[in-house]
Amino acid sequence: MAALVRPREGRMIGGVCAALARRFGMSAGTMRVIFLASCLLPGPQFLLYLALWVLLPAEKSATSATAW
């Protein structure tokens, strides 16, 4: 199972949809469409996106992972 981190590659704004797509084994485009469709329903979807953007750690780059 993939860890829930915001990837460096494939992100459009904050990488939240790309992270969720990677975690659940689907394409980032599909996850973005699901998120946009869910915004048509009442609820805190946008606030949840912002919260995940702040709370999810960013993926470490290959250079920073090997450098001390």
What digits encode the pLDDT tens for the residues 39-53? Answer: 999 999 999 999 999
Instruction: Note if the pTM is more than 0.85.
Output: no
Cβ partners under 8 Å of residue 1, min gap 6: 23
> In 1-68, which residue ranges form alpha helices assigned H by DSSP?
16-24, 28-38, 45-55, 62-66
* Distance in angstroms (rounded) separating the CA atoms of residues 60 and 13: 17
- Domain residues of the chain, as ranges? 1-57
Cβ partners under 8 Å of residue 40, min gap 6: none
- Structure confidence at residue 67 (pLDDT): 53
- Structure confidence at residue 10 (pLDDT): 83
pLDDT digits (tens, 9 = 90+) for 13-68: 899 999 999 999 999 999 999 999 999 999 999 999 999 999 999 988 766 555 55
